[in-house]
Amino acid sequence: MTSPNKKSREALRSIPSWVMDLWIAWIVVAFLVIRVLGSGTAQRLLSHFGLRHP
């Protein structure tokens, strides 16, 4: 891939890699639970935190 802006790449280095991992991991898990498993418990939990339309 062509080299993007160096400043941006350096700025991204300031984000710890575990933060990236955690961000992706929760989305993958939440997606699997909500969309694939369709868990009612997960739906209720999301409602509790305002991430689901009442």
Select from 37, 39, 44, 51 the one that contacts other proteins (CB under 8 A): 51
Which residues in the 4-43 window bind other proteins by CB under 8 A?
4-5, 7-9, 11-13, 15, 17-18, 20-21, 23-25, 27-28, 30-32, 34-36
**Burial status of residue 42 (CB atoms within 10 A of its CB: 0-12, 13-18, 19 or more):** middle
Q: CA 17, CA 13: separation in Å to the nearest integer? A: 8
Interacting residues of 52 by C-beta distance below 8 A, sequence separation 6+: 43, 46
Q: Which residues bind other proteins (CB under 8 A)?
A: 1-2, 4-5, 7-9, 11-13, 15, 17-18, 20-21, 23-25, 27-28, 30-32, 34-36, 46, 50-53
